Structure 1
Amino acid sequence: MPNLERVVFVHGSGSFGAAAWPKQHGLSLDFDCLYLRRHGFAPDADPLPTDHGRDQEIVAEALGDGGHVVAHSQGAVCAMMLAVERPDLVRSLTLVEPACLSLTADLPATRAHIELMAPLFAERHALSDEEFLRAFVRRMFSADARPATSGEERRDAARLRLQSPPWEAPLSIVPGVQTLVLTGGWEPLYEEVAEYLAGTGAVHRVVPGGHRPHDTPQGDALIRAFLRAGTVRAAA
């Protein structure tokens, strides 16, 4: 049986591990898939603040001798950082709704988002996890957050409050790495990031599906096609 190409999946700020990628489980038939858990996301321990350096180490360790990285939302930050530092490991990047806001901080949609959210992050240490969750959801989605009642939901709320503002990440563009950016077409913020990356050579595709376009049949098909093309390129 031939060796399968490694694909590492990096989750965002919600679900983690395989639970964050329900439509991509079948890729394990064609690839050596690893579904990661970022720093501070242990299910049986207190949440920890964002550590981009440790997240990069986790992804690098999972890649081994090299492979493809598929990352969602805030997980795209450490994926891009690793691709810049270790292009020898990252054969392709698939970025789904990437929260790489430090790249576009001076552009209109991102600037408006920062102006809206920065005051909340500035006072987060004075807020309870529940208070931060309510304010975050209200500002981000113009909706009311569901109260955190279970232990898992309370850990999720605590973890959200500890996440680093994505516009503060030390990011730069990824030269020479084949990149697909998949967005849901629902939020100008993510479209702005995607168009910026398209201007640096990435392929941008829009699939209606909110913040999780990879959960749609079309989004999943685009990811699979891009990975298969990357395997062909790696073998050439």
Structure 2
Amino acid sequence: MPVEALVADQTTLVEAALDTDGAVVFAHSLLAVPAALASTTRRVAGLVLVEPALYDLARGTESIERHIGIVTDARDLAASGDLAGFWAMLRPLMFGGSFDPGRWPAEQPVAAFWAARDVPWGHGVRTRMIDGVPTLVVTGGWNDEYESIAEILSIGGAHHVVLTGAQHRPQDLPGFAPAVAEFERSLSR
């Protein structure tokens, strides 16, 4: 799926891929948004959400609101033509390290990509959309935003597994495949 596509277009692609009922849908980060939205139009057997950026679910949470505020301010700079100012705010928030003018020529295309990308909030994702859908949420235990989202999903019945050591990519850790296998076995019970 093209990650640069708008969330609405990504949702359409997921819906088209779910041409039969009963699939298990896997989604990482921002792609959890179209996965959740598509699950309202297709019957899925389960969702595996890895570090899901379902920010709409956790609005009002301090870490979520902080993130949204910084990204909104940064995107305002980009919209006014100040891509370097955008990157000076976004880089430390999402990628660590401060803005370095010496790296700017190499990082400018990355900044442009992120300035044009859809944000993971404002798409109307609600917990009721996945009510009754067996859900496994896997996080890395390193970021309050993803942990807050996972907690809200857990309250709604999702099973939450924390795999530490790979930050935003817990799917790269040895414990990921066994957690998914156990989840998939639970679907056939």
- Shorter-chain-normalised TM-score: which range? 0.7 to 0.9
Contact 2:28 2:50 survives alignment (8 Å): yes
Task: List aligned pairs for 1:142-221, cutoff 5 A.
Answer: 142-144=96-98, 147=104, 149=106, 156-173=110-127, 174-208=130-164, 209-221=166-178
Residues 56-101 of structure 1 show CA distances to partners (whole Å, capped at 9, x for unaligned) of 1111222221311110000000101111232x2x110011111111
1:120-156 deviations in Å (ceiling 9; x for gaps): 122322246565344311233441466563xxx7654
Q: Report whether the alignment pairs 1:52 with 2:7.
A: yes
> Deviation at 1:168?
1.8
TM-score by length of 1: 0.69
Structure 2 alignment gaps of length 5 or more? none
Aligned mates of 1:68, 1:75 — CA distance in 2: 14
Q: Which runs of 4+ in 1 moved over 6 A?
A: none
User: Alpha carbons of 1:62 and 1:142: their partners in 2 closer, same or farther (altered >3 Å)?
Assistant: same
CA contact (8 A) 2:74 2:85 kept: no
Instruction: Please identify, of 204-213 and 106-115, the stretch whose mean Cα deviation from structure 2 is larger.
Output: 106-115
The answer for unaligned runs of 5 or more in structure 1 is 1-36, 41-49
Q: CA RMSD in A?
A: 2.3
Q: Residues 12-57 of structure 1, C-alpha deviation per residue, up to 9 Å, x if partnerless?
A: xxxxxxxxxxxxxxxxxxxxxxxxx1364xxxxxxxxx52222111
What number of residue pairs does the alignment pair up?
182
1:32-181 equivalences in 2 (<5 Å):
37-38=1-2, 40=4, 50-66=5-21, 67-86=23-42, 88=43, 90-127=44-81, 132-144=86-98, 147=104, 149=106, 156-173=110-127, 174-181=130-137
- AA at the equivalent of 1:97: E
CA distance in 1, matches of 2:40, 2:105: 38
77-86 or 217-226, larger mean C-alpha shift: 217-226
